[in-house]
Chains A and B, each alone.
Chain A
C-alpha cells in the first residue's frame, strides 16, 4: 500500500509517533473493526476509529434514533430522530473520513447471523447495553476466534476488558451467565452519566487501535473499573476460569445460542425488549 499525499497529511500525527509511523498507519488502513451497537459506547468508538483511518468499519444496530439516545449517543443528531442508527452512524463516520469503508447491518445480532458477520472483521467492539447481547457477542467472538473489547456502563461506573479467545480470560470466565432477572437494573431504569459512555467507548477504540497496530499491552486478564464520581481507575486481575462454560477444560457451550432475555427489564419502558442489541 502506498499512502497518498492526502493520507500522509491527514494521518501525519499518527505517522509522527515512533510506535506508529507510515507502516502502522497502513495497518490501520488495512484493519477491519466491527462495532456492535451504535449507541453510547459505539458512538465515540466509531467516530475515533473512522478518524484514525481504520479501513473498514462494520456497524450493527436495528434501532432508530430516539430523543432519549441523544444525551450520550454522539454519532446521532437531533435531525436524525426516527432514522435508523446505522444510517446516521455511517453518515457521521464518512463525513469525518471519506477514506474509509463503512458497512452497515440494520439488524439485531443473533445466534444465527453473529459468526457470519463477525468473521469479516479483525476486532469487535461490544457496544451493546444488555446482558443477553453481551454474552452473545462474547460467545460469537469465541466461535469466530476474534478478539473483542467488552465494556459495560451503569450510572457513574464503567468496566472494560479485552479478550483474545482461548488465550486470555473471557467474559464468561468472569460472569459465567447473565444475572438472574431483576438482579441488575438497566440504564433505562437506573440512569447513566452521558460522558461515562464516551470514556468507556474511547477505551474500547484505544484497544482496537492498539490491537491493529500490534503495539503496547492490551487490557487482557484485567478488568478495568472506572468510577466517575471519585474519578478513579483501578484494574482487577482476573485469571482464566478452568470451569468456564465457554473456554474452560470441559466447556458446556458448544454452539451459539440466544440467551434468555433478562426479565429484569420492564417490557413497557426498556428498549432492549424491542431493539436489542442496540443503544
Chain B
C-alpha cells in the first residue's frame, strides 16, 4: 500500500527539467556560479565546504516517510551520495557529497515517490514540522500530522513560496508541551480542542539563530478549518512586509518588531478576509479522535523490553513505538533501507518518521511483535537500540561541511559523549539532560532550546585564535511562556568535555527523582552554574597546551581564514573588537614611552584586527603589515596617507629600530580609521564606508587633514551584464567626484565588461584584483 500524504505541485517535473538545463549551463561555464546558486538553493541544493560537493535536502513534511520513500532515499544515497543519510533538526533527510550533475536525476527519483527537495533551502517555505509523537501520545489533543501535510500541499506550489524575504518555518505540536517547538518557529500551531471542536493556539514570529526569540501568541484559539488560510495569510504578509534589503533583519520576527503586535494582527485579519473572498477553502482535514488529555503524561520515557529493545507505550492499547537512536542524525543508506523494510513489515501505519532530535521512530508496532522486530534491528550495522551518551546530543554539521561554521560541532559532541560514557554518570541522569551544539551563532543545532546549549565562537589569546563555545542554560519550551536559553559563560572547545562532566556530576549529586536538568537549573539558579563554567574558562599558553588552539577533530591550529560571511560574522566581530581593544591598551601605555617597540605593539593589533574579514589570519608580523596594506590601503578602505606609517612599520621589522618613534598620533588616527571601518562592517563582512565617512566629517574632534576619499562598496556577485554596470553607475551617481567605489564582480563576462564600460564613460578604474574564488574586486574613482 502506498499512502500519498500530500500532493506535490503538478509542474514539478517540468521545474526539474528547467533546473536540469540550468545545471548544464552552469557546468559548461555559461551560467556564473552566483546566478546558479540562486537557482539551486531554493530547490534544496547546497554547496558543501569542499568545492564541487553538494548536499540535497529533502523535505519530509511532518516527518512521515512511507517504506517506498525510505527505500528510494536509501537508493539515492547509495547511488549518488556518501552512502550516508542525515536527519536534520527540521525532520528533513539530507543526502551529502553528491555531484551537481546528478542532482536533477535525484530530484526525479524523489518525485517518483512523492518527495521533493524544493524549498529545502533559500528564502522559501521550509519543511513543515510536526511532533513525532502525533497520533500516539497520551498527552496530545489530536493528531496534528495531516495539518502539516495540508499546509505543505497548499503552500509549496505557490510561486511566491520560493521567493520570500527570508525563510518561513512552520511547525505543529499536538499539545502545550510543544515537542515540535511551535513556539520558536515563524509560525507555530499548538493543538487545542474547544467545546469538542479541534483547533489551535497560534504563535508567530519565533525563531532561533541570531536575534532568537520565542513567538508571540497571535491567536488564542482558531478552529482547525482556518489553518491553511492562516499559513497563507502570514506568508503573504511576510512577502509584503519582510525586509528584502537586509538579510539579517528579514525574518518574520523583525516584521513583528517593526509593526508591533496590534498592527500585525490587524493586517493579518485583513489578509484573512481577502483570502475568504478569494475563496480559499476551509482546511478539510477530518479529526476523528479528539481527546481530553488532562493529566496525561508525555510519551517520552522509554521502557526496556524483554527482547532488549526500548519502546514507548502508545495511547492505543497493545501498540508501541520504537525510537531508533542515530548518532548525531547519521545513518548508512543500507541501514536506512533495512529500517524502511522493517517498517513495512511491522508498522501498522506503514512507514516511519523522522524526529527533531535527529532520530527515527517506528510506530504502531503490535506489542506482540516486539521480539521479532528486535531481532531484525540487530541485523543493522549501527546499534540504534541502545542509547549512548551521544544520544543526548544534537549537533549541526559545523565547520566540517557548512560554509558558515566556525567550530566542528560534531567532533565536540563526540568528544563530550565519550567523556560521559567513560564516566560513572548513570544512564538515567544522561537521559534527563540534552545538549544541543551549533558550530556558529546560527542555530542549526538549536542551541537555544536544549537544557545545555553550546555554540561555536572564536576568541583571541596572546595573539592566537582559540576555538571556543558559548554556554547557554535555562531554556524552557514546554510551557506556554516559552523561554530561550541565556548566555552563562564561555569556555575553550578543549574544556567542553570536562565542563559537561562537571555539570552532569553536579546534577547527579543533587538530582530529585525523575528530575530533568531544566528543572534542576531553575532550582539552583544561574549563578550556581556560572561559577562552574568559570572554572573551565581559562586558556593555558600555547607552549603549555597547544591542543587548546586546535578544534576537536582537527590537527591544525584554529584559523578563521577562508571563512565565508554570513551570520558567523558574530564570532568574527568579537575577535576584531578584541584586537581593537588590545591596540588601544597598548597605545595608552606606549604614550609615555614613545619607543618604537611599544608603538609596534599597538600598531600590530590595529593592522591585524580587520584582516580576518579578508580571510587573512597570520601570526607573522611582516605578513600582517603587508596584508593590511594590500587589503585596506590599496583598496582605498583606509586612506593612503597611512602608507608612510605602514612603510615605517615595515622598516621597523627589517631592523630600523627608530622607525616608529613618536608615531603615537598617527597610530592613534589609524586605529580610529580601523575602528570606524569596523563600525560599518555588516554580517556578510562587507564594509559600508561611504556612510560612515560622511558622519565622521561632522566630528569636531577629527584632526585637521585632507579629507580622505570616501569608499563605498558594492557586492555584485551573481549579478549579470549589463545589470551589474547599471548598479555601479547608479552608485557612482550618488557619490562625490574622486570618491572611491570597491565593487565585487563575478569572473568572466562581468569582469571583462564592467571595467571597460566604466572607462568608456570616463571613470577611473584604479585597481582590479582577482580574489581567486570566482570573483574580482575592482576599485573605481569617480571622475564624472
List residues of chain A with CB under 8 Å of any chain B CB. 3, 8-9, 12, 15-16, 18, 21-23
Contact = CB atoms under 8 A, between A and B. Distances in A.
B733 A12 contact: no
B761 A15 contact: no
Interface residues of B, number: 9
A144 to B, nearest CB: 33
Given A16-B729, A22-B729, A8 B723 contact: yes
B730 interface: yes
B733 A18 contact: no
Binding site secondary structure of chain A: helix
Contact of A22 (B722, B730, B761): B730
Nearest to B730: A22
B280 interface: no
A12 B719 CA distance: 13
Contact of A3 (B723, B725, B730): B730
A8 B727 contact: yes
A158 B723 CA distance: 38
Contacts of B730: 3, 8, 15, 21-22
Interface in B720-746: 722-723, 725-727, 729-730, 733
7 contacts: A8-B730, A16-B722, A16-B725, A16-B726, A18-B761, A21-B733, A23-B733
A12 B722 contact: yes
Contacts of A22: 729-730, 733
A224 B729 CA distance: 35
Contacts of A18: 761
Contact of B723 (A12, A21, A23): A12
Contacts of B761: 18
Contacts, number: 25
Contacts of B726: 8-9, 12, 15-16
Contacts of B723: 8-9, 12
Given A8-B723, A22-B733, 19 more contacts: A3-B730, A8-B726, A8-B727, A9-B723, A9-B726, A12-B723, A12-B726, A15-B726, A15-B729, A15-B730, A16-B722, A16-B725, A16-B729, A21-B729, A21-B730, A21-B733, A22-B729, A22-B730, A23-B733
A256 B725 CA distance: 50
Contacts of A21: 729-730, 733
A5 to B, nearest CB: 8
B370 to A, nearest CB: 60
Contacts of B727: 8
Contacts of A8: 723, 726-727, 730
A12 B729 CA distance: 10
Contacts of B725: 16
Interface in B730-767: 730, 733, 761
B242 to A, nearest CB: 14
Nearest to A26: B733
A3 B726 CA distance: 12
Nearest to A3: B730
Contacts of B729: 15-16, 21-22
A23 B761 CA distance: 15
A22 B722 CA distance: 14
Contacts of A12: 722-723, 726
A10 B723 CA distance: 10
B753 to A, nearest CB: 11
B257 to A, nearest CB: 23
Contacts of B733: 21-23
B712 to A, nearest CB: 14
A13 to B, nearest CB: 8
A21 B726 CA distance: 8
Interface in B552-577: none
A57 to B, nearest CB: 24
A22 B761 CA distance: 14
A141 B518 CA distance: 80
A22 B734 CA distance: 9
Contacts of A16: 722, 725-726, 729
B652 to A, nearest CB: 47
List the 7 closest pairs (A to B, CB-CB), nearest first: A22-B730, A12-B726, A22-B733, A15-B726, A18-B761, A23-B733, A21-B733
A27 to B, nearest CB: 12
Nearest to B761: A18
A9 B761 CA distance: 20
Interface in B690-731: 722-723, 725-727, 729-730
A243 to B, nearest CB: 46
Contacts of A15: 726, 729-730
Nearest to A9: B723
A18 B757 CA distance: 11
A2 to B, nearest CB: 9
A195 to B, nearest CB: 31
A156 B230 CA distance: 63
A16 B760 CA distance: 12
A217 to B, nearest CB: 21
A99 B549 CA distance: 57
A23 B734 CA distance: 9
Nearest to B760: A18
B33 to A, nearest CB: 21
B719 to A, nearest CB: 10
Interface string B472-515: 00000000000000000000000000000000000000000000
A102 to B, nearest CB: 24
A1 to B, nearest CB: 12
B37 to A, nearest CB: 18
A28 B727 CA distance: 18
A128 to B, nearest CB: 38
A70 B725 CA distance: 41
B575 to A, nearest CB: 34
B539 to A, nearest CB: 46
A23 B722 CA distance: 18
A37 to B, nearest CB: 35
Nearest to B733: A22
A9 B724 CA distance: 10
A18 B733 CA distance: 11
A3 B731 CA distance: 11
B649 to A, nearest CB: 41
Question: Which of B726, B727, B733, B761: most chain A Cβ within 10 A?
Answer: B726
